[in-house]
Amino acid sequence: MNEAQALGCTGESLVVRFLEERGYRVRAKNYLARAGSVCLGEVDIIAEKDEFLVFVEVKTRKIAYFPISTVVTRSKQQRIIKAAKMFLAKHGLYYERVSRFDVATVVYSDTGEYDIEYIENAFGV
């Protein structure tokens, strides 16, 4: 695992803890939607709370030169939505929950501390 991957894994772990502390139940991490050997999309974290099934994209950086939530481009959103639809179909959840797409950003400071910005309903279908 390279440094960027390790940073990403750490950020995802911090966001899992952030969500659990707020009453979310994490159902899956790093969910890959595949059609044969082709990856159609990935969702970093899938969690539920109340009537919501939440698909969370996590972005982690050491330095934020610009709002890192802007890194979730429209094409990335489409891949996340595709993966979410496959998860819903696989688990028969289309009518049980309201789907929501959130973005969590984790930015580390020079001192090793971090800040999490959580954007609910960051994009939609």
Q: How many other β-carbons are positioned within 10 Å of the β-carbon of residue 58?
A: 25
pLDDT at 93: 74
CB 56 within 8 A of CB 102: yes
pLDDT at 68: 60
Residues of the chain with pLDDT under 50: none
> What domains can you pick out in the chain, each with its CATH number?
3-123 (3.40.1350.10)
**Helices H / strands E in the chain, number of each:** 2, 5
pLDDT at 84: 94
pTM score = 0.90
3-state secondary structure of 48: strand
State both tokens at 24: 């979310």
pLDDT at 66: 64
Q: How many other β-carbons are positioned within 10 Å of the β-carbon of residue 38?
A: 7
pLDDT digits 0-9 by tens, 46-81? 999 999 999 999 998 887 666 666 778 899 999 999
What is the maximal distance between C-alpha atoms in the chain? 45
Residue 8, C-beta contacts closer than 8 angstroms, at least 6 positions apart: 58, 60
